[in-house]
Structure 1
C-alpha cells in the first residue's frame, strides 16, 4: 500500500502500522466565537434579505451550489477549521467504531456524534446533511463524488493528499462565507507564532528540536514541511536535525518511519515524544538506541500522549503545539 497521508489513528488500529450551532466562546485557541441567528421580529430587520445561494468551484472543478446558511455540515477531518470559525459539524471524524476521535477538539465537539473516517454513504445519509465538505480528492476517487453529491451539495477542499493547512482553512472559510473571520484567526495565529519564536530564540538559540512519534513497533519523524514539522521548523524557526531534512527530501507523508540506526545517530538537543506505545517514557528511553541522543543524555525529553494535537494540523492544533513547546522548553530553562 502506498500510504501518502499519515493519519494519527492508524497506529491504534493496525498495531502502530501507519498509513495521516456554535462552539466554545473561549479565545485561547484564537477561534471565532459562535453566534446564533435571532428570531425574526416585525421591525425593520425582518426586511433584510437572507444570504443568497452561491456557486463555487471546488478543487476538482465541480461547480457546487452552496446553501446560503448550511446548518448540518459533514466535514470529516476538517473539524479543526470549522471549530476555529465558530461552526459545529453535525458529525465528527472517528475510527474504531467511534472509539478514537480528535481528542484535542472534544471540549468544543462534546456531544457531537461520530462518523467513520471513510464516510460510508449510509452513515452520511443518516445525518441528513445540507453540505458535505471533503478533505481531499483521494476521498472521492472513482464514483464516490457522484454518490455523495446525490446526498447533499459536496465540495472537495483540496486536490492533493497533504494540503497546505492555511490554504485549506481559507477555502473552508470561503465556502462557509466566513473569510473575514478566517483572516482574523490567521492574524491571531501569526502574532502568537512571532511571540513564541522570539522567546524560543532567546531560550535555546540554534539548538535542534524534534518530535518523534513512538508506536508499538515503529518510530516516526515528521516531514519538515508538514504537520508538526511545519510548526516547529517553518513557523517557530527551530533548527531541523539533519536526519529529518534527509527524510523530508523524498517523503510525501506527514509522518515517516525512521530506522533504529538513524535514530541512534540523531543529533537532537530538545526532544518531544508523542507516546502511542503503551509504555512509559522511562521504559522507552531505557532502550540503548536512545542513549546517544543529546536530548536524552541531558534530560531534555518531553512526553505527550496520543490525545494531544501533535499528530494533527490546523489553527487550533498548531496553537496547542506551540503552547506545549513553550511550556516545556521555557520551564526546563528556568529550572
Structure 2
C-alpha cells in the first residue's frame, strides 16, 4: 500500500463549504424565480436511500443505487463489482490495476492518506467510500460533498467485497465474485494435488524498507496458500496471530531466531521491488546461515516474490490463483 505524506485540510474544508454554499444559493434563486413567474415544475422525487452504519459507527444516509462513486483505496473491488466509479486514488490503484481498467476514472490525488477535496468536488459524486484510517478533517470535508462511508482497511477481502456490495446495491455481483473465486480455487487445488502433500505447511514473510523481517498473518497471501491451495499454517504462526493483541494485525515483526519455528514447508519471501533498502535486506537474509538451514530452502521450496503478491484486494487474489501455482510447479 502506498500512503504519501499528510497535510492540513482546514483551508480546503473552508473552500469546499463556501463552494457548496454558493451552489445552494444559486439553486434557491432559480427556484424562487420559477415561483414568481408561475412556472411550477413537478418536484423530483429523491433517489431511494437507506441508512448505513459504517466502520466508525457513523450512521450515514446513502443512495441505494449510487451512480457516481468515488472509492478511495478500494478501486480493485469496484472493478470486480463493475461499478459506476468516477474517481479513485491512482497512486494505489495503479499498483494493481491496468490503465484499461481505469478508463473513464479520474485521479483524486491529494497528499497524505486523504484525497484532494477539490478534485472530488469536481466529480460531483453521489457516494464516497474511504478507509477507516482517514483523519477527521478530510472525512468531514468529504462528507460535505456527498454521503461518505468508512470501510475497515484491515479486513479480509471477502468481508470487504460483501460489505461494498451492500453499500452500493451490488449484492448479487458480490456473491457472484465470491462464487467464481471459490470455484477457481477448487480447480487450482485439484491441479496441484500431486504437489501439495496433505498437512504440508506454508508461511509468507516480507522485508520492508526498515530491513526488518515480518511475517504475514492469515490475510495477504493467506487466502491463496491456505484456503485455495490447501497448505496449513505452521502451529507457531497460528498461536502468534491468535494472541489477543495480534488478532487484527496483518503482519508482525519477528527476530531471525524465531524464523525456524515460523517457517513452513514452503516459504514465500516478499521483497519491496522499488525500495533499495528492502532489496538489500532480502539479499542479506538469504545469505544468512539461519535462512540457509531452513528445510524449505534446502528442499528448493523457498520463493522470493515481488510485492505485487502481498496486496490485499480482490483483483490480486484472483491473480494469485494463477501466479502461485506457477512457482510451485516444477519448471520443465
The TM-score bracket by the shorter chain reads: 0.7 to 0.9
CA separation in 2, counterparts of 1:233 and 1:291? Answer: 25
Contact 1:84 1:315 in 2 (8 A): yes
* CA deviation profile, 1:249-277 (whole Å, cap 9, x unmatched): 22222121111111244442222221112
| 1:80 corresponds to 2:76 | yes
| 1:270 corresponds to 2:266 | yes
| 1:227 corresponds to 2:220 | yes
CA separation in 2, counterparts of 1:281 and 1:120? Answer: 33
Which residue does 2:114 correspond to in 1? 119
| 1:132 corresponds to 2:128 | yes
Q: What does 1:182-261 correspond to in 2, within 5 Å? A: 182-205=174-197, 206-216=199-209, 217-224=211-218, 226-250=219-243, 251=246, 252-261=248-257
CA separation in 2, counterparts of 1:63 and 1:114? Answer: 22
Q: What does 1:252-331 correspond to in 2, within 5 Å? A: 252-276=248-272, 277-279=278-280, 284-306=285-307, 308=308, 310-330=309-329
Contact 1:104 1:317 in 2 (8 A): yes
Contact 1:76 1:135 in 2 (8 A): yes
* CA deviation profile, 1:208-247 (whole Å, cap 9, x unmatched): 21221122411211113x2322332234331212332232
State the 1:155 CA deviation.
Answer: 2.0
Contact 1:285 1:296 in 2 (8 A): no
Describe the shift of the 1:284–1:106 C-alpha distance in structure 2 as closer, same or farther (beyond 3 A).
Answer: farther
Which residue does 2:11 correspond to in 1? none
Which residue does 2:53 correspond to in 1? 58
Describe the shift of the 1:151–1:223 C-alpha distance in structure 2 as closer, same or farther (beyond 3 A).
Answer: same
Q: Which ranges of structure 1 fall in alignment gaps of 5 or more residues?
A: 1-7, 14-49
Contact 2:131 2:150 in 1 (8 A): yes
CA separation in 2, counterparts of 1:304 and 1:147? Answer: 40
CA separation in 2, counterparts of 1:245 and 1:329? Answer: 23
CA separation in 1, counterparts of 2:295 and 2:106? Answer: 44
Q: Which ranges of structure 2 fall in alignment gaps of 5 or more residues?
A: 6-44, 273-277
Describe the shift of the 1:114–1:304 C-alpha distance in structure 2 as closer, same or farther (beyond 3 A).
Answer: farther
CA separation in 1, counterparts of 2:236 and 2:258? Answer: 7
CA separation in 2, counterparts of 1:183 and 1:304? Answer: 30
Q: Given the two structures, how large is their TM-score scaled by the length of structure 1? A: 0.72
Which residue does 2:154 correspond to in 1? 162
CA separation in 1, counterparts of 2:161 and 2:95? Answer: 20
Paired residues in the alignment total: 278
Question: Which of the pair has more CA radius of gyration?
Answer: 2
State the 1:290 CA deviation.
Answer: 0.8
State the 1:152 CA deviation.
Answer: 0.9
CA separation in 2, counterparts of 1:228 and 1:155? Answer: 27
Contact 1:91 1:115 in 2 (8 A): no
**Cα RMSD for the two superposed structures:** 3.1
Q: Which moved more, 1:228-237 or 1:254-263?
A: 228-237
Describe the shift of the 1:113–1:183 C-alpha distance in structure 2 as closer, same or farther (beyond 3 A).
Answer: same
Q: In the alignment, which of 116, 126, 141 is matched to residue 147 of structure 1?
A: 141
Which residue does 1:16 correspond to in 2? none
Q: Given the two structures, how large is their TM-score scaled by the length of structure 2? A: 0.72
Describe the shift of the 1:191–1:290 C-alpha distance in structure 2 as closer, same or farther (beyond 3 A).
Answer: same
